[in-house]
Amino acid sequence: MNVKYNNEDKLLVLELTEEIDHHSTEKIRRRADYEIQRHMPRKTIFDFSGVTFMDSAGIGMVIGRYKIVSMLGGKVSMVNVKPSIRKVFEMSGILKIIPIEDCA
């Protein structure tokens, strides 16, 4: 995962660079939590451009980070979501609380 932070906008971008399944979510979760607590962003964007596969463990990971960012008063969105991953999000209902934006 690559991390970009813009201090002026308090914007944290988490570029996911691997498949997201039950094997990888713990590593992603730890790093994302660290960066969120370190920067206290107003907005966090999950960039899925490097993700080719995601299962239900990924949904749990995203929702967990959403809860943390929300408790800190921030907002979360997602960008560059491939159609196959969008379907997983649509079926889960997560798009009702976390929007997919057109670009970062």
Query: pLDDT for 56-101, tens place per residue?
Result: 999 999 999 999 999 999 999 999 999 999 999 999 999 999 999 9
3-state secondary structure 36-101: HHHHCCCEEEEECCCCCCECHHHHHHHHHHHHHHHHCCCEEEEECCCHHHHHHHHHHCHHHCCCEC
List domains and CATH numbers for the chain.
Answer: 2-96 (3.30.750.24)
7's tokens:
């201090």
pLDDT tens, residue by residue, 20-47: 999 999 999 999 999 999 999 999 999 9
